[in-house]
Structures are given as structure tokens and as C-alpha cells.
Amino acid sequence: MTTHRIRVGIDVGGTFTDAVAVDATTLSLLGQVKVPTSHHHEDGVAHGIVEALDRLLQQVGRDPADVAFLAHGTTQATNALLEGDVATVGLIGIGTGPGAVLTRRLAALGRLELAPGKRLPLAYAHVADPDDTSAVRAAVEQVTAAGAEVLVATEPFAVDRPEGEQSVLEAARSAGLPMTAAHEITSLYGLHKRTRTAVVNAAILPRMLATADLVDASITKAGITAPLMVMRCDGGVMALDEMRRRPLLTVLSGPAAGVAGALMQERISEGVFLETGGTSTDISVVRRGKVAVRHATMLGKSSYLNALDVRTVGVGGGSMVRVDLPRGDHGRADESRADQSSGDQTRGGQSRGGGRARVTAVGPRSAHIAGLPYACFADPAELRDATLATVRPMPDDPADYAVLDAAGGRYALTMTCAANALGRVPEGDFARCDQEVAKAAIAPLAAALGVDVPTAAARILDAGAEQVKSVVDRIVRDYRLDADTAVLVGGGGGAATVTPHLAVLTGMEGRIARHNEVISPIGVALALVREQIERIIPGATQEQILAVRAEAEQAVVAQGAAADGVEVEVTVDPQTSTVRAIATGATELRTQDRSHSADDTERLAAAAASLKTAPDRVRVLAGTPAHTVYGTEVRRRLRAPRHPVRVVDADGVVRLHASDAQVAATTVGAAPELLSNLVREATSYGDGGVRAPALRLLLGSRIADLSGVLEPQPLLALARSEMRDRAADEPVVAVVEVRS
């Protein structure tokens, strides 16, 4: 029997550090452990990472040599910024004349607020000539005397002329401090935003360097030879050396780990991922098989940090129910933290004047913050003689949060209680409890509402899910998700409390991810090496676009990605003249176990379901060894018929869909001429200029997405680059969509 190597993902949270082992071939979950996050240990969070790894290897019976891939995600950078626990930055501005005016204004970055009453610690010094070594050293002495622990050099137009920033760093090297140049963090224009991004990166640099060194040393000591990777905020991973250079990329990486897990494990091609914890739900989007990323807002300002587009709603599994009770008897405020959900109380039921209670909202306060147990997890005997009351969980909260006062004490009524009462939590789920106990917990509220228990539970879930629905509706509109194929996928320990009911409200297909409670460390374990290169190039030529593509590809290969498996997506934005290349690749070529691959009938059924039509109306249009292309025809009155297309992989998962496309099968040798004709025929011309079609190529196991390029000639040049070094007789399929 062959023992496959394993991929290990470790997610360092604020309270717990979770670790999982995943079979490197089948990608199935082999084991999982949870240990307290070691914030206060002398080695910091590194100690918890190593402890989790040791326990995990023992649990699955593997040796360090069996680890093929090891990555961890951490909230350390995010927490450092939120708590204001950062290093003092020495900012050295460069320039003369008008340039000096611009850089001197950057001293105002010291007014950025990290936390209430705590500003970004920054010392500024200026040099006119970056090649004047004595002036640079004097500037370094000035900022270090003011407490600087890390240095940043910045100069106008350093994106095009980086020599000045490089000269300053070279002259400052003798100071022995960590240092960086603004152009090294981002190559986009905009002196203020570029410098702000570099300064925030520098503020967390010393702390993250210390952690990186500890983790690296600990992993090496443990006998792990696989390269250590770190989760990025855009859903990929990067090498430890890259994290040492740009630790800012780990900010906001927590939500990115969850959606990366859903993308890789659940194989979503179009949909919304909802990661629900005890207090909140993080909502992100997958569009055409890719996570949605945008420039993040940090410290209240926009930045050049590319991070997952995640939107957070204060509704989770532990969110407490809020009710409007008729005014009846009033209990006095409790003073003890044992019932810290204290404050004004109102006994439930009908008042002397009649009237019924009503559910007004759910959250944002959770049972965890209130210090109360969930009513549905109590023993039946503990809920004996339960009466309904309303309280203030915290002193400044309104006194309308529902609790039960019962024989066993005080309990919170939560979204989890309602979901269990309706049987929405599946067997084996982290949030599952005895349904009868959940019904007993809801019963006092149902009596106050004057309805039965299922209706009361549904009203609770309505109140919570409606808050999430408004954000989901907006994100579906923002990204123009395909309503025919978009799905809701729930992750996190509280997934069953939000996603199933939201699916009912929206009419969308909904499901809970496998192993939803550890979807984040699974995402870390399965994530691909990722790098994004952005350049502002007015009137970019084919050669310049290909150069940006090559730079992104080389960057992920340098971090350990197998060159043969790298995929690069290129986008050219004519409005901003931005050329963007996103490269992804695995640290080893993964040959997945295909013993459970879908057969022809299953793949056809998946395509038909996605196309919303009967299987006998679906045709196979083309295929490669890894993908099959299906299509149908939709006739429309007084208009030309539409030809929707679905690309299904060997596992029976829809990986690509197009609402109206042309499909052409050829070989690599014949493709250039065919593609040239297809692109010419499908290019549209109008007031907005030339718009080449959206082109995707099925090559081997890959789907090369070239839809981000609007000019015909660069598009064809990129297509040729995708096919270089491939055999002339290798099959290739083109999926072409005309842009309106």
C-alpha cells in the first residue's frame, strides 16, 4: 500500500491555532488538531505552531519527512495594526525643488490613527541628493535618535527611476536596521499612497521578522524539509523570504484562508462563500473560478495592498436574539459578571394590557461576549422552569437581548438554537445539538410571540439571515454573478446557522462545505503560490505586456512553484493603463487520485443542471484529457439564439461557464491561424474603441484565462505564449465570447 505524502495547513487565530493534514494526492482530510494560540510564550505564536504540528504528526502517524508542503496563516500583522503594537518608522524623503515639497508632506503620515488615541509612530528626515552619503547618514542618525526601528526610503517617480531609493538604502545599511524602498512594495504611481503602503509594511516588519525567524528555526529543528509558506491576503501563499520582505501581505489573510479552502476543496466556479463564526460572517465572492480581490482600505485610507474583497456582517452562530416584549414585570439589574448579560430585565409573556412580543433583530452582540452559554447546549433538566427575560449584555447595549432564566442558570437564545430547532444543522456538524433541547429552548420565546416553536425559530433565522442577504445581494450585483450557476457555500463553525436559511430566502443553491469548522487551515494547506505584478504602462506594447507576464511567472517559480504548472492571468486596463499579471502554481506537481472521477453520465448531468435544461438537449462540443465542453441552444423570440457553454472537469465540477460563446477545437500547431481568424471575427468596434473577445484556452490540465486583454494583437501574443514549448499535436480548445 502506497502512503502518500501530506500537506499541512496551520491557521493561527486569536484564541486557537488549528492544524490539518491533507493527503497530497487525494486532497482528503487526514487529521486535525486545535491548541491554544501562544501569544504570551517567549517564542510567541511560533511555539503554538510547532506544538500543533507535533500533535498533528502524532495523530496521523507520520514523520516530518512525509510533509510535502507546510504553510501557516496568521492574524499577527492584522492584530498589530489594530492594537497599535508597531515599530517606529524612520521615513527618509528624497528630492529637490517641487519633489522636495511632495516628499516633505509625507511627514504627515505620522498622524495616521492605528487605534483610538494611538497614532503611527513615525520620524521624518529629508535628503536632497540620494548619492550624498554623508547627508543620508545624517538623516539616518536623525530618525534613529527619534526612535526609528526600521527605515523606508521614498522618492517621486521611483517606480521608473529606483536608483535614488536604492542609493539611500545602501548608504543607510551600516545602521543595521531593517529597511525597504517604497518602490519595492508596489510599482504603481501615486507617491502618497505608495509611501503610505510602504510605511505600514515597515511598521510591522521587525515584529514579523522575529516571528518568521522563530518559526523557521523551529520547523527546521523539527526535521521538516519542505519549504515553509505563509498565507497571503489574496488567497495564495508566499515563501517565507517573501514574507520577510512584504509582511503587509499577511494582513487580512484570515478570511482569505477560508475562501481558498472553499475554492480548492469545494471547487466553486461561481458563487458566494460565507464563513460564519460565533459573532460574525465574512462574505466573499468567487467569480469564474477565482477569488475577488481589490485594493484594501487600511487605517481608514486606501492602499496598494491587494486583498480579498471581504464584507463582514455582525451575525454568527452565537448572535443573540433581540425582542420587543410587552411591558410587564421588571426584574432588577444584576451586578455580578457571572450574569454579565446584566442590566434592565423584563419578564416575558403578555403584559396586563395584552399584546404580543416580536423578534426585532439578531446580534451584533454574541453569547460569547455576554459570557453566557447557549440555551440549546444545556441539559434538559437545566432548562426546567425557564422564563424569558431581556438584558443588556454589556453596559452600553440596549436592554432587548433575549435570555432564559431557568433551573440551571441564565442562557442565551442564539441563531444556533434556532437552526437546531428547525433541524437545519446536519449530523456531525460542530454546531449540532439535540433538536428536542433546542425546541425546549425556543419554547418560552414562542409563547411570548404567540406562535409555535418552528415559526419562532424561523423568525429568528429570518432576522439574522436578512442582514446577510442584503450584503449578498449587493455583492452578486457588484460582480454580476451568473444567477444560473452561483451557489452559496458556508464555512466556519457556525455555517449551518446562516447558509441553509439564506439559501431558502434567496432561492440560490446552498451547501455547507465539508469539514466546515476547519475550512481555514484546509485553505492554507491547499493554497497555491501566488504573485501579482502590476505596472502602469501607457500604451503598453505586446513586448511590455509579455514582460510583466514573465515577471509574475518567474516570481512564483522562484518561490518554489513547479514551472510546468504555473498559470498566469493577465489584465490590461485601458482606463488606468495598468498591466496586471497574477501567477499561481503549486510547490509540487500534484497528480490527483482519479479513482473517484466522474463518468460521462455524471459530467453530462452536472452540465445540464448548470445549464438549467434537460440532458438530452446538451451536446458535447469539444474536450481535452482534463475537460469536456458542453453546450446547448437557447432560442429567443425576434432575436438570434444564444449558445451557453459549460466546461466540466474530470471530477464532474463545472469549472467555466459562458452565457453565449463559440467553441473551436484544434491543435497547438494549427491554433495560431485559427485563433487569429476567431479573434478578428469576434472583435467589436464602437465608441468605446476596439474590444477583442473574451478568450479562454483549454490546454492540458489548465484553463488559460486571457479575458482580461481587450486589444487583439496583445491577446494573440499571450495566446502564443501559453502554447510555447507544447507539442504541435497537443489538443487545444478555444472558448470565445463576443463583448458587447
Give pairs for 429-433: CB < 8 Å, separation 24+.
Answer: 429/495, 429/496, 429/512, 429/516, 429/517, 430/493, 430/516, 430/517, 431/317, 431/493, 431/494, 431/495, 431/496, 431/497, 432/496, 433/374, 433/376, 433/377
pLDDT one-digit tens code per residue, 28-64 = 899 999 888 887 788 778 888 888 999 999 999 999 9
pLDDT at 344 over 70: no
Per-residue confidence (pLDDT) for residue 596, from 0 to 100: 55
pLDDT at 677 over 60: yes
DSSP string, 449-489: HTS-HHHHHHHHHHHHHHHHHHHHHHHHHHHT--TTT-EEE
In this prediction the pTM is 0.80
Which residue is associated with the grid cell 508632506? 105
* C-alpha cell recorded at residue 520: 481555514
* C-alpha cell recorded at residue 168: 539611500
* C-alpha cell recorded at residue 504: 431558502
Rounded mean pLDDT, 457-467: 94
Confidence class for position 694, pLDDT limits 50, 70, 90: very high
Per-residue confidence (pLDDT) for residue 718, from 0 to 100: 93
Is residue 590 within 8 A of residue 529, CB to CB? The reply is no
Q: In what order do the strands lie in the sheet with 578-585?
A: 29-36, 16-23, 6-12, 67-74, 228-231, 237-239, 529-536, 578-585, 567-573
Report which DSSP code applies to 708: B
Is the pLDDT higher at 586 or at 489?
Answer: 489
CA atoms lying within 13 Å on the CB side of residue 15: 3
Give pairs for 156-163: CB < 8 Å, separation 24+.
Answer: 156/95, 156/99, 156/102, 156/103, 156/191, 157/189, 158/182, 158/183, 159/183, 159/187, 159/188, 159/189, 159/194, 159/536, 163/130
Per-residue confidence (pLDDT) for residue 380, from 0 to 100: 92
| Residue 260: CB atoms within 10 Å | 33
Spatial neighbors of 436 by CB under 8 A, at least 6 apart, are 380
Nearest to 577 by CA among 601, 544, 547, 609: 544
pLDDT one-digit tens code per residue, 288-330 = 778 888 888 777 777 888 888 888 888 999 999 999 987 654 4
pLDDT at 345 over 60: no
Is residue 276 within 8 A of residue 317, CB to CB? The reply is yes
**Mean of per-residue pLDDT scores for the chain:** 87
Could you tell me the maximum CA-CA distance found in the chain, to the nearest angstrom?
Answer: 87
* C-alpha cell recorded at residue 669: 500547431
pLDDT at 331 over 50: no
Per-residue confidence (pLDDT) for residue 328, from 0 to 100: 57
Is the pLDDT higher at 566 or at 138?
Answer: 138
pLDDT at 352 over 50: no
Q: Indicate the helix (H) or strand (E) that contains 604.
A: helix 600-611
Chain-centroid distance, C-alpha 358: 36
pLDDT at 591 over 80: no
Rounded mean pLDDT, 373-402: 92
Rounded mean pLDDT, 381-395: 92
Which residue is associated with the grid cell 419578564? 347
